[in-house]
Amino acid sequence: MNVLVLSGYGINCENETLHAFEVVGFKGKIVHINDLIQNPKQLNNYQVFAIPGGFSYGDDTGSGNAMAKKIMTNLYDQLINFSLKDKLIIGICNGCQILINLGLVPSLNKKDPEVALIENKSGSYECRWVDVKVSNNKSPWLENISTLNLPVAHQEGQFMIPINLLKTIKANNLIGLQYINHHKKLAKGQFPFNPNGSKDDIAALTNQNGNVLAMMPHPERAFYHYHIPNWQSKTLKKFGDGYKIFMNAKKFFT
Amino acid sequence: MTNTIQILSIEKTGKESSLQKEHNNKSIKIIDGYFFSTNLDDQKFTKISKLISNDVSQTILTKKNVNKVLSSYSNFNWVVEIKFLPGVTDNIATTVKEIIKDNLKSSFKSFELGSTKIILIKGRKEDITKISKNEANPLIQTIKIYPFKKYLNNFKKNQFKIEKVKLPKKKYSKKEINLNISDHQLSLIGKLGIEENDKSRRGTLGLDLESLKAIRNYFSTIKRKPTDVEIETLAQTWSEHCKHKIFSAKIDDIHEGIFKKYIKGATEKIIQLRKDNFCVSLFTDNAGGIEFNKDWIICHKVETHNTPSALDPFGGAITGIVGVNRDCLGFGKGAKPIANTYSYYLADPNKKYQLYRQKNKDPMLPANFIAKGIISGVRVGGNCSGIPTPQGNVYFDDRFAGKPLVFCGTVGIIPKKIKGKLSHKKKANPGDIILMAGGRVGKDGIHGATFSSEELDPNSPVSAVQIGDPITQKKMSDVIIRELRDENLYSSITDNGAGGLSSSIGEMAKESGGFIVNLEKVPLKYNGLYPWEIWVSESQERMTLAVPPANVKKVIKRFNARGVEATIIGKFIKKEKAIVKYNKTEILNLDMEFLHEGYPKLNLKTSFPKIKKEKKKIIKNSSLIDKLHKLLSSPNIVSKEFIATQYDHEVQATSIIKPLQGEGRVFGNATAIKPLFDDEKSIALSQAAYPQYAETNPYDMAGCSIDTAYKNLIVSGANSKKIAILDNFCWCSSDEPDRLYQLKEAAKACYDYAVAYQTPFISGKDSMFNDFKGFDKTGKSVKISIPPTLLISSIGVVDKISHLTKMTPDDGDILLVLGNTRNELQDSVYFKIIGYEKSKNPVVNSKDALRTYRNFEKANKLRIINSAIGIDLGGIGIAVIKMAIASKKGLTIDLKLKNKISVDQFLFSETQSRILVSMKKNKLVNFKKIFKGSDYTIIGKCTGSDVVEFKDNKKIMRGKISDFAKSYKQSIKGL
């Protein structure tokens, strides 16, 4: 099992993302986008393609946009092919924004981006821990998970989805994660449970096969128990909730 | 054909909402504009707009649709167009250029473009003027206000214009300066700069008469006139910023100066006493380094960026943080930045100070604009660089109205050995190539080093402003840390900060002997820079490397492959000469010895100042609970959560003790990160400064700062033998004997307490003239000096995760105050907010303090302590409430007081070296064994209810935790 973790131009969560994959049993490599463009064939050696969080191009012209355009011009077909195979793709935070801008998620019309991630309703950057629940979704990334406690850290995490498309997304079960409140009920847009005002409390979307997951929260930052806020007051397991996402990737291939 | 692409969000953006709320106007819309230097045909327009916009969430304005689209939002009637002034870093434009270049390849020839923010409103002209004042800074931006009709017309007629740098086309000829002139003329060169042919002056050099005479003497010995470049270089190298002349000066009877005697002296004494390997690299490098574990070193550096932040708060602060990141990259062979720290000392953002740099003109920016700009500058710098920013604080006082203090710090990590060689050692060898990597050079920050050493006055040059570009730096940093360093491809590295190349190369060349630089090789942002400008420019995001000739090709290739520019600009030589050429003409040739040591040493005298104690205030009779609410909501105690949540402190997945602690989210005094996946050792960080104590007694002020910074780490669970500290002195009027007296006293305390605590100083910086000289709104001249501020930053190693403490007690826990409480309310928050009680200022007794700390450490390791919080501003009272808010658990406090101390004195005194702890009742026996002979008081217990109660002999005073939390979490007015 091999994972390619993308880097370059301001992506910055590649080390911890690779680490999480390695701990669950993957072999992996951090590959600079320019090296991948030079030699796209190397994608054949990998089963998982991960776009980590960060600030590619400083979020200028919209978060994830510039990197998505670079990929679209240079690697689009290869990535589409990758997504059509029995392989997995994950985009976390900035990676999520990139996947959405590429249209790889929800990928209903296969051509243009259909969904946008816009600035948080609060107007400010939000670094905080949230609870999310897995919606009725068949994605291998999310199997057997009910809720997760994970951190978000973004300025543009509000899913904007045209009404008709939202219906289709729901009908196809493409909502991956939704923000919930302290009572485990949907946050209904209420801050800070829903940190960005996202429509229908959406925190993650998948494509129709479920093998491509675009999520705003950071599972790699909730990997060990000591990542969890106030862990000293809690009964401890070795891992935090983020671990489950990476384990699911492993299970998919074993 | 059009020369602009303008994009707007279909839905209301967060920014638009906040503008609408702030200005109570629902008709405000923001457009992202891009103005091109050339006309785009329809095909290019479509292609490029698609590349830089989002179909789903945005609309692209065209000549055809502009009127219709905009009128669907409102009947706008005013427009403000905000663009960067020519030459100011425009990061968005850089990205757009890169996107176009990357995706359209060769189909588009060279062009310029500028990003523009266009705000539309329906309202009065006053309204748009007000908005523009809140959204733009005239020092770095052009602000054009015009009617909406004109906007539409501009759109139709392609009349949007970009601001280009227009420098006169000039041919450089070597300029020699005659220094055989009158003293008066000579001083003018120092104060106003070198005279150009047209009689204009280049801007202050910050050289005093004595220094200029030393330069004159040197050149008369070598029998020639100095060139302009030589004088500029000496001004940079000898600046207070670079040479710290005040700290190294003879002061009264201290011949070696206060740095050598008190700061370095303390560390040397400690090393002599400790005999361990804790201190690795001190004072000599860009940051100070200590041992983390057997394989890794951590380094820490804290810088100030005060003057730039007063002029352009966002730019000043972002440059401050990315600048100090480079100090880590330039530590040893290059340490990876793993945490940022911040401390801001600001004026009240809710007040209008109305200060002017010149009579009735050139106003200071409003206090809230400064505060907001600084906070967001560090946010963008830290977040975009992928470096967590967990640790910091903000302090407010009117005396920062003329100059805010902006402290930015970075912690870095580096393996002890790289390819078998010690990583903290570096040496540029003769023959090594001088390679400049990263951004290009423009007029940014010219005279930054010389100018930050001067007081802020009308002659302060505007080109001193710079804006950081974190992404360019991140790209460069990734290549250095991940690819070049571990293959040992370069022999030395340093950052380009104050003084630019003149400083970085000048410093590095000490390792080899000397250098030869060819300035025409330096890549420029735009043509027309004079050689002296290239040499001293402080354009950001650049590192200088010494690369063995055999590796140069490889190194450049690696940089280029990652989209980073790297250029050969000279070589290091053995001969102790500093040589600079421009198109083969030699324009600088100095002896290295003179360059670095030729400046005249100062001889300073101090005198005992009049102590300015604040006047007596009347205490309004109010209940204890009211007083607690007042203190909790006062700006220096109220929660700084709004900063913690906008600074990414989780990136790198190292955050282990977070800035907001407990379920109730209390802003903690210390945070911790665990930097390595395979070692449970962690790094605890904190900082402290007490400017409010400075005027009463600067010695005790410094003692309190060290004690608090140290205590916070002890409380967090750090190993007391592995704590190091950093000193940042921000002083005022350091040419006045009474200010120098305060400085000497504070430095003396640094020695005494550092040695007592055995915590070495590993790095430091000073900024000596934080004064504002200008005018108030009536035209009366005013001088506002900051209170002397000594920031002590502390960094410590926590050996085991289980040593990390929490501030949340559990039901049934008993509460104790460790350490003695004295009547020390002078200059406290209580003193300022509530009123005056006859009292003394806090004085640290290091023996008592150490006894408490050692015992605490022992008890914590034995798991006797269940929760703990350091007691500082607002005393025991505030510490108790914070514990209750954090844990959401009620506490009962018993106020049976001894020693004739009043309730208010007991609860609000800011006596140092105290810790509030909780523990299970059954641990008390063991606790008492450890604390035998040490001061502690049992003050109450954790009830788990929803109230905090204070009982004395007569009555019970009670407040709901949720009410306290409300006061504590109030937003700061003006922010």
> For residue range B712-751, what is the model confidence (pLDDT) as tens digits?
999 999 999 999 999 999 999 999 999 999 999 999 999 9
Confidence of residue B618 (pLDDT cuts 50, 70, 90): low
Residue of A230, A233, A234, A241 best to disrupt the B interface, most CBs of B under 10 A: A230
Taking 90 as the threshold, does the pLDDT of residue B146 lie above it?
A: yes
C-beta contacts of B167-172 below 8 A and 24+ residues apart: B167/B526, B167/B527, B167/B528, B167/B529, B168/B528, B169/B527, B169/B528, B170/B528, B170/B530, B172/B530, B172/B531, B172/B582, B172/B583
Rounded Cα–Cα distance for residues B89 and B477 (Å) = 19
Exposure on the CB side of residue B580, measured as CA atoms within 13 A: 29
Rounded Cα–Cα distance for residues B608 and B737 (Å) = 8
Are B74 and B29 spatial neighbours (Cβ–Cβ below 8 Å)? yes
Q: Any CB–CB contact under 8 A between A112 and chain B? A: yes
The DSSP bridge partners found for residue B688 are B792
b/e per residue, B235-267, with b = 16+ CB within 10 A?
bbbbbbbbbbbbbbbebeebeebbbebbbbbbb
Strand B814-818 with B761-767, pairing: unpaired
CA B570: distance to chain centroid? Answer: 32
Are B620 and B750 spatial neighbours (Cβ–Cβ below 8 Å)? no
Q: Do B96 and A60 touch (CB under 8 A)?
A: yes
Residue B966's SS3 state is helix
Of B40-44, B459-463, B626-630, which gets the smallest average pLDDT?
B459-463
Confidence of residue B932 (pLDDT cuts 50, 70, 90): very high
* Residue B526, in any domain of the structure: no
Of B57, B94, B805, the CB nearest to A160: B57
* Residue B796, in any domain of the structure: no
Terminal C-alpha separation, chain A: 9
pLDDT of residue B103: 87
Of A73, A116, A125, the CB nearest to B102: A73
- For the record, the structure tokens of A216 come out as 């705003």
**Do B135 and B216 sit in the same domain of this protein?**
no
Give A62→chain B minimum CA distance, Å.
7
pLDDT of residue B823: 92
pLDDT in tens, B868-913: 999 999 999 999 999 999 999 999 999 977 767 889 999 999 999 9
Rounded Cα–Cα distance for residues B672 and B655 (Å) = 6
- Pick the residue from chain A with its C-alpha nearest to B13: A119
**Do B212 and B141 sit in the same domain of this protein?**
no
pLDDT in tens, B228-247: 989 988 988 888 777 788 99
Confidence of residue B615 (pLDDT cuts 50, 70, 90): low
Of A22-36, B107-121, B852-866, which gets the smallest average pLDDT?
B107-121
Taking 90 as the threshold, does the pLDDT of residue B352 lie above it?
A: yes
A 221-240 near B (Cβ less than 8 A): 221, 223, 226-227, 229-230, 232-233
Exposure on the CB side of residue B617, measured as CA atoms within 13 A: 15
CB atoms within 10 A of CB B898: 8
Residue B875's SS3 state is helix
Q: Any CB–CB contact under 8 A between A15 and chain B? A: yes
Of A53, A57, A125, the CB nearest to B95: A57
Q: Any CB–CB contact under 8 A between A127 and chain B? A: yes
Give A247→chain B minimum CA distance, Å.
18
Residue of A30, A61, A166, A191 best to disrupt the B interface, most CBs of B under 10 A: A61
CA B327: distance to chain centroid? Answer: 12
Strand B814-818 with B867-870, pairing: unpaired
Confidence of residue B526 (pLDDT cuts 50, 70, 90): confident
pLDDT of residue B465: 65
Q: Do A230 and B661 touch (CB under 8 A)?
A: yes
**Do B198 and B140 sit in the same domain of this protein?**
no
Q: Do A8 and B656 touch (CB under 8 A)?
A: no
Looking at every residue in chain B, the average pLDDT score rounds to 92
Q: Do A10 and B475 touch (CB under 8 A)?
A: yes
Stated as kind and residue range, the H or E segment containing B868 is strand B867-870
Helix then strand count (H, E) for chain A reads 6, 11
Residues in A touching B805 (Cβ below 8 Å): 232
Residue A13 appears among annotated catalytic residues: no
Residues in B touching A19 (Cβ below 8 Å): 653, 677
Taking 60 as the threshold, does the pLDDT of residue B434 lie above it?
A: yes
Of B278-287, B762-771, B802-811, B814-823, which gets the smallest average pLDDT?
B278-287
* Residue B538, in any domain of the structure: no
Rounded Cα–Cα distance for residues B162 and B1 (Å) = 16
In total, the C-beta contacts within 8 angstroms joining chain A to chain B are 171
Confidence of residue B460 (pLDDT cuts 50, 70, 90): very low
Are B939 and B815 spatial neighbours (Cβ–Cβ below 8 Å)? yes
Q: Do B648 and A125 touch (CB under 8 A)?
A: yes
Confidence of residue B462 (pLDDT cuts 50, 70, 90): very low
- For the record, the structure tokens of B744 come out as 């000497």
**Do B206 and B149 sit in the same domain of this protein?**
no
Q: Do A221 and B658 touch (CB under 8 A)?
A: no
Topology at the third CATH level for domain A2-253: Rossmann fold (3.40.50)
Rounded Cα–Cα distance for residues A24 and A5 (Å) = 15
% residues pLDDT > 90 (chain B): 75
Q: Do A116 and B57 touch (CB under 8 A)?
A: yes
Angle, to 10 degrees, between the axis of helix A65-84 and the axis of helix A94-102? 70
Q: Do B103 and A69 touch (CB under 8 A)?
A: yes
Of B102, B646, B677, the CB nearest to A19: B677
- For the record, the structure tokens of B14 come out as 């967060």
* Residue B572, in any domain of the structure: no
Q: Do B808 and A32 touch (CB under 8 A)?
A: no
A 16-55 near B (Cβ less than 8 A): 16, 19, 32, 34-35, 53-55
Exposure on the CB side of residue B475, measured as CA atoms within 13 A: 25
DSSP secondary structure code for residue B194 in this structure: P
- Count how many residues are written for chain A: 254
Rounded Cα–Cα distance for residues B635 and B10 (Å) = 38
Q: Do A66 and B95 touch (CB under 8 A)?
A: yes
Rounded Cα–Cα distance for residues B877 and B770 (Å) = 34
Residues in A touching B379 (Cβ below 8 Å): 125
Q: Which residue, of B226, B258, B288, is where some domain finishes?
A: B226
Q: Describe chain A by its helix, strand, coil percentages, rounded to 5.
A: 35, 25, 40
pLDDT in tens, A51-84: 999 999 999 999 999 999 999 999 999 999 999 9
Strand B113-121 with B296-304, pairing: unpaired
For chain A, domain boundaries: 2-253
- Pick the residue from chain B with its C-alpha nearest to A30: B482
Q: Which residue has the tokens 């993957």?
A: A26
Q: What is the mean pLDDT of residues A75-101?
A: 96
Q: Do A128 and B645 touch (CB under 8 A)?
A: yes
Stated as kind and residue range, the H or E segment containing B8 is strand B2-9
Rounded Cα–Cα distance for residues B98 and B84 (Å) = 19
Are B79 and B73 spatial neighbours (Cβ–Cβ below 8 Å)? no
Q: Do B14 and A153 touch (CB under 8 A)?
A: no
- Pick the residue from chain B with its C-alpha nearest to A182: B663
Of B98, B386, B655, the CB nearest to A55: B386
Q: Do B806 and A9 touch (CB under 8 A)?
A: no
* Residue B32, in any domain of the structure: yes
- For the record, the structure tokens of B431 come out as 């023959």
**Do B220 and B130 sit in the same domain of this protein?**
no
DSSP secondary structure code for residue B826 in this structure: T
Confidence of residue A239 (pLDDT cuts 50, 70, 90): very high
Confidence of residue B795 (pLDDT cuts 50, 70, 90): very high
Q: Is the dihedral of CA B387, B392, B394, B400 positive or negative?
A: negative
- Pick the residue from chain A with its C-alpha nearest to B15: A123
Of B17, B32, B648, the CB nearest to A153: B648
Query: CA-based angle A18:B330:B711, to the nearest 5?
Result: 80
Give A137→chain B minimum CA distance, Å.
24
A 177-206 near B (Cβ less than 8 A): none
Residue A220 appears among annotated catalytic residues: yes
Give B577→chain A minimum CA distance, Å.
39
Residues in B touching A220 (Cβ below 8 Å): 653
Q: What is the mean pLDDT of residues B462-470?
A: 71
Are B6 and B48 spatial neighbours (Cβ–Cβ below 8 Å)? no
Residue B39's SS3 state is strand
Q: Which residue, of B167, B195, B226, is where some domain finishes?
A: B226
Rounded Cα–Cα distance for residues B700 and B706 (Å) = 10
Give B115→chain A minimum CA distance, Å.
10
pLDDT in tens, B639-658: 999 999 999 999 999 999 99
Please name which of A227, A67, A74 lies closest in space to residue A150, comparing C-alpha atoms. Answer: A227
Confidence of residue B170 (pLDDT cuts 50, 70, 90): low
% residues pLDDT > 70 (chain B): 96
Are B536 and B500 spatial neighbours (Cβ–Cβ below 8 Å)? yes
Residue B95's SS3 state is helix
Taking 90 as the threshold, does the pLDDT of residue B1 lie above it?
A: no
**Do B75 and B189 sit in the same domain of this protein?**
no
pLDDT in tens, A187-196: 999 999 999 9
Residue type, B390: P
Rounded Cα–Cα distance for residues B20 and B24 (Å) = 5
Rounded Cα–Cα distance for residues B772 and B454 (Å) = 10
The DSSP bridge partners found for residue B546 are B434, B492
Taking 60 as the threshold, does the pLDDT of residue B456 lie above it?
A: no
If one counts the domains in chain B, the total is 3
Q: What is the mean pLDDT of residues B387-408?
A: 97
CB atoms within 10 A of CB B108: 16
Could you tell me which residues come within 8 angstroms of residue B359 by beta carbon, excluding any fewer than 6 positions away?
B775, B779, B781
Q: Do A101 and B54 touch (CB under 8 A)?
A: yes
Confidence of residue B461 (pLDDT cuts 50, 70, 90): very low
pLDDT of residue A114: 87
Cβ burial of B818 (10 Å; 0-12, 13-18, 19+) is buried
Give A33→chain B minimum CA distance, Å.
9
Q: What is the mean pLDDT of residues B109-119?
A: 87
Rounded Cα–Cα distance for residues A25 and B974 (Å) = 51
Of B386, B655, B660, the CB nearest to A54: B386
**Do B825 and B863 sit in the same domain of this protein?**
yes
Confidence of residue B761 (pLDDT cuts 50, 70, 90): very high
Q: Which listed residue (A93, A126, A156, A227) is catalytic?
A: A93
Residues in B touching A62 (Cβ below 8 Å): 53-54, 57-58
Q: Do A61 and B92 touch (CB under 8 A)?
A: yes
Task: Identify the domain containing residue B189 by its residue range.
Answer: 183-226
Residue A57's SS3 state is helix
Q: What is the mean pLDDT of residues B417-444?
A: 93
- Pick the residue from chain A with its C-alpha nearest to B647: A127
- For the record, the structure tokens of A167 come out as 């219906």
Could you tell me which residues come within 8 angstroms of residue B351 by beta carbon, excluding any fewer than 6 positions away?
B367, B398, B401, B974
Confidence of residue A222 (pLDDT cuts 50, 70, 90): very high
Q: Is the dihedral of CA B61, B66, B69, B70 positive or negative?
A: positive
CA B321: distance to chain centroid? Answer: 6
* Residue B95, in any domain of the structure: yes
pLDDT of residue A72: 92
* Residue B881, in any domain of the structure: yes
